[in-house]
Amino acid sequence: MTVFFQQLINGLSLGSIYALIALGYTMVYGIIKLINFAHGDIYMLGAYIGFMAITVLGVGFFPALLIAMVGCAILGVVIERIAYKPLRNATRIAALITAIGVSYFIEAMTQRFMGTNVRAFPNVLSTEVIQFAGLRISYQQIYIFVTTIVLMLILQTIVKKTKVGRAMRAVSVDADAARLMGINVDATISYTFAIGSALAGAAGVLVGIYYNSINPLMGMVPGVKAFIAAVFGGIGIVPGAMFGGFFIGIAEALVSGYGGSLYKDAVVYIILIVILIIKPAGLLGKNVKEKV
């Protein structure tokens, strides 16, 4: 049982990161029905922005986190305006191919300017460990989990209590009706990309601290796993992304903890296949009939 609870703690930390990335996927899909496969690379850029903020500007954890979130929010809006807005009325496959192209472009530019080598992320948090009943909980894990919960609560407040959040919910239901009601749909979509990208940037800083290393291709696998988390919980549903992120993180940690580290990625993809067969709309999603 000690191994189980220890891996549960590890899984919550990892799941926190997946949940933050998954929120960006689910928010964008909920608004414009786009699977933004470049989102994992925004998370990678967040790690590099945080790295530069700490090493060049000499700031601490929280300023680096804020700088990465602001930087990624701006990048998210720029990418949406340049790459996705012109394809707003195009077919979904065209937007999907564009998203993949944007992903490769971001990776190539990062390799061009930052190099291809793995960089050690500066240690800006305490490495002390709390031991309790045979369990080990690091201060880094506590910071990651608490930061994630705070950001999720802020997101829920924005979505439920603010004018921007009400506009997002209206556009997600019917963009044309929202436009007739005086809502600026283009601005709302930009806000959505900004918020989702900011959360991915925060996840990049957190994963840099957690694994103590970053590289230009670090967004590929976590990006796919976060997408799986969003699908698992119900893509387009914010609580579903949170639940899916934590579930995938815990499942991966448990598989690794019980000697199956070589199969942890395979287990995540098996979960995706099973959920698509059993409940394609996700655990918290609802099946919607579409007229043809």
| pLDDT string in tens for the chain (292-residue length) | 778 888 888 888 889 999 999 998 888 888 888 888 899 999 999 999 999 999 999 898 999 999 999 999 999 999 999 999 988 888 888 888 999 999 999 999 999 999 889 999 988 887 788 887 778 888 888 888 999 999 989 998 998 889 999 999 899 888 889 998 899 999 999 999 999 999 999 999 999 988 888 999 998 888 888 989 988 888 878 888 888 999 999 998 888 888 777 888 888 889 889 988 988 888 876 655 544 4
Tokens read off for 217: 């291709």
* CA–CA separation, 16 and 280 (whole Å): 24
Query: pTM surpassing 0.85?
Result: yes
Give the separation between CA 272 and CA 263, rounded to whole angstroms: 14
DSSP output for 165-208: HHHHHHHHH-HHHHHHTT--HHHHHHHHHHHHHHHHHHHHHHHH
CA atoms within 13 A of residue 281's CA, in its CB half-sphere: 7
